[in-house]
Amino acid sequence: MKRLTSIFISCLLCFLITDMVQAQITEKPGFGKFAITNATVHTVTNGTIENGVVLVNGEKIEFVGENAKITADYQQINAEGKHVYPGFMDSGTILGLQEVGAVAVTNDQAELGDYNPHVRAFTAINPSSVSIPVTRVNGVTHVISVPVSGRIAGKGTLIDLYGYSPDSMAVLPNAALHLTLPSSQQRGWWDDRSDEEIKEAYEKGMKELNEFWKKAEFYNRMMTAYEENPSGKKQPDKDEKMDAMREVVTGEIPIIITVDKKQEILDAIEWTKDRGDARFILAGVEEGWRVAEEIAESGLPCLVSTLYTPERDYDNYQRPYQNPGKLHEAGVKVAIATGESENVRNAPYHAGYAAAYGMGVEEAVKALTINPAEIFGVSDKLGSLEAGKQANLFISDGDPFEPMTTIEQVFIRGYKIPMVSRHTQLYEEYLNRDAVQN
């Protein structure tokens, strides 16, 4: 009897524990040594390996190749018939900064003021955003999240999508400054300013920006001079905004300029010339295909999306889909940026359209992996499957650009991510809901 009771109790305990595990919001990720075998490995930088092996050891990729000695301490994942890709990166989002678009108190992507170089997305990233697990289970492991307001909105941050603090997620806390140039164009059909007024506003805006830039360069020279040899000099007063511009004017971090229209793109290219050591990236660039040669000549990389309607009514319907391919063809380095928050998970489909409409699959994969890694200067860590790089990858049952493909397992910084999100949890709960009411 006693034995029966104890069996009963242990059974009950088992049930309870199982229940408790299921009740958790997310499971804990796995971490340690993993051997992914028999997979088609898309290294991005070194071609595709059929029947390949990827060894993950802690945070890093230990080995990528055909044959590896796999010791017993590796957890084996047989990926026969499956594909392994480096984790995808979306180069322009507001993920982690915006929870619910229409609820203002959950929006942290737009600070007041026109010139905010000292404002940092890194500060406001919410690691608990429900959108983060929703995004990563689709194979998007990294995003650049960018503030978007005024002339200088602040600094974007490059994060991976696993962690409990911005610090643990940040690959680059300050990835780039975000700048919107004054527009020499009418803003839209509702913009009823005269040509004179538009020109006046444009010139005033440019004057303001150029003065801000000059001041920043001066501040940097002044501070550098003092830091190099403080003896006998009076320490200059600190200015937060100007201080934040130092790493920008010195080219330590790049500047993302968002421009869409042809003339704005040309204006932006012109403005970036003779800016000392500063580095620039173009974003948006919806009419890039109109001036692809000019962009290529400027050497500026572009962050683009594909799922929008043509800028002008008379444009060929497929221009947005063709834009990345046409830019690439002209010699521009292209990365995919959705500009999204909750649906960053669609980044692979943006790339899929680019692939289908002229860019080709291989280049479109690069636009989500090695290209952004190079543009933001982190290709030593991210963007391809190579020994020594961070273990950011996913296993899929097919081409990840195909909406019907399933992403089966994601690794971020070596962590084997639970493939759950609010969306999967609601599915589990409600698929077979019984008890019909009403």
In the list 50, 165, 189, 231, the residue contacting another protein (rule: CB under 8 A) is 189
The contact mask relative to another protein for 312-341 (x = CB under 8 A, - = no) is: xxxxxxx---------------------xx
Applying CB under 8 A, does 404 fall inside the site for another protein? yes
Number of residues that bind another protein (CB under 8 A): 61
One residue of 1, 20, 23, 431 binding another protein per CB under 8 A: 431
Q: Which is nearer to another protein, 270 or 402 (CB)?
A: 402
195 interacts with another protein by CB under 8 A = no
Tokens for 189, please give them.
Answer: 């059909």
Unique residue bearing structure tokens 């051997």: 35
| Least Å from the CB of residue 92 to another protein | 14
Contact assessment for residue 153 and residue 180, using Cβ atoms and an 8 Å cutoff: yes
Q: Which is nearer to another protein, 164 or 430 (CB)?
A: 430
- CB of 327 within 8 A of CB of 365? no
Indicate whether 20 belongs to the interface with another protein (CB under 8 A). no
Q: How many Cβ atoms from other residues are within 10 Å of residue 102's Cβ?
A: 6
Q: How far is the CB of 162 from another protein (least distance, A)?
A: 20
CA distances from 416 to 34, 67, 167, 197, 392 (A): 9, 22, 19, 57, 10
Backbone angles phi, psi at 67, to 5 degrees: -125, 130
Q: Any contact of residue 126 with another protein (CB under 8 A)?
A: no
Report if residue 194 touches another protein, rule: CB under 8 A.
no
Report whether 364 contacts 352 (CB < 8 A).
yes
Q: Within positions 46 to 85, which residues make up the interface with another protein, using CB under 8 A? A: none
Identity of the residue, 5 or 438, whose beta carbon is nearer to another protein in the bound complex: 438
Q: How far is CA 9 from the centre of its chain?
A: 50
Angle at 65 between CA 64 and CA 67, to 5 degrees: 125
> Are the C-beta atoms of 96 and 409 separated by less than 8 Å?
no
Least distance between another protein and beta carbon 373 (Å): 24
**Spatial CA neighbour of 152 closest among 209, 199, 109, 97:** 209
Interaction of residue 210 with another protein, rule CB under 8 A: no
- Residue 435 within binding range of another protein, rule CB under 8 A: yes
- Looking at the Cβ atoms of 1 and 431, the one nearer to another protein is 431
Contacting another protein (CB under 8 A), which of 394, 401, 411, 415?
A: 401
Looking only at residues 354 through 393 of this chain, which bind another protein when binding is defined by CB under 8 A? 355-357
Q: Are 348 and 398 in contact (CB under 8 A)?
A: no
Which one, 136 or 279, has the nearer CB to another protein? 136
- Three-state DSSP class for residue 241: helix
Residues 408 and 195: their CA atoms lie apart, in Å, by: 55
Can you give the binding site for another protein, defined by CB under 8 A?
A: 99-103, 130-131, 185-191, 261-263, 307-318, 340-343, 345-346, 349, 352-353, 355-357, 401-406, 422-424, 426-427, 430-438
